[in-house]
Amino acid sequence: MAPPPLSCPLSVCLSIIGGQWTPNIIWYLSEHPRRFSELKDDIHGISPKVLTTRLRKLEAEGIVIRTVMPTSPPTVEYSLSELGKELKPAIEAIVRVGKKLKALKGEETDHE
């Protein structure tokens, strides 16, 4: 089977969510908005540099909204845009299949 053309909607979507850590970011933001430090704590193993890069890319793609809160000192909160929220069922489906794949291999599954 030939790969889909680059302009294929599947390719466009996977180019956004297919990167390492990106599905995790979407997963945690789908629960509620989070600050950078909260996301860093949620996603074990991600470096601050990579998290910053992924968040900037998701913001540029219209998936994530970055909001500067009027606090002293200012804090930044990240949330999913309406478009980003549409990815939640896809990420949940991937998690369900991942749990089944882990079970087939005899591995324990996480609670998330």
Please report whether residue 4 resides in a domain.
no
Global pTM reads: 0.81
Q: Which domain holds residue 80?
A: 10-104
Contact predicate 62/83, CB 8 Å: yes
Please report whether residue 5 resides in a domain.
no
Contact predicate 35/77, CB 8 Å: yes
Give me the CATH number covering residue 86: 1.10.10.10
Between 70 and 6, residue with greater pLDDT? 70
- Alpha-carbon torsion (23, 26, 30, 34), positive or negative: positive
Statement: residue 4 has pLDDT above 80: no
Over residues 19-48, the pLDDT tens digits come to 889 999 999 999 999 999 999 999 999 999
Residues 6+ apart with CB under 8 A from 10: 4
Amino acid 43: pLDDT: 95
Over residues 82-95, the pLDDT tens digits come to 999 999 999 899 88
The DSSP H or E segment spanning 78 is strand 75-80
Number of domains in the chain: 1
| Lowest mean per-residue pLDDT among 6-10, 64-68, 100-104 | 6-10
Integer Cα distance of 28 and 37 in angstroms: 12
Q: What angle do CA 86, 18, 9 make, to 5 degrees?
A: 60
